[in-house]
Amino acid sequence: MSLGQRALELTILISAPLLLSALVTGVVIGMLQAATQIHEMTLSFIPKLLVLSAALFVAGPWMLGMLVDFTRELYAGIPAMILE
């Protein structure tokens, strides 16, 4: 049970930088579109794509490190899981 909880916590931590950057970008672009009354769907797509790419570039090593550490802990804990 604790293994599943840790996996979900890790999923939330890893997805947070990308989701938060997309949220902030979407809100800013939405405010600009509302202020200028330009309602073009592609206008919000390109900035989000650029911001997500930048966020992945910045947070990618941290995210990968978290996944590798969790995987190593899983493999190291296999003998204890078998004995339980």
Of 65 and 34, the one with more pLDDT: 65
Separation of CA 14 from chain center: 5
Confidence grade of residue 68 (pLDDT, cut at 50, 70, 90)? very high
Which H or E element spans position 38? none
Determine the Cα–Cα distance for residues 77 and 82; give it in Å rounded to an integer: 9
Nearest CA among 25, 30, 27 for reference residue 49: 25
The secondary element (H helix, E strand) that includes residue 71 is helix 41-76
E-state strands within 1-79: none
| Domain extent listing, the chain | 2-83
pLDDT score, position 7? 93
Task: Report, as an integer, the average pLDDT of 6-33.
Answer: 94
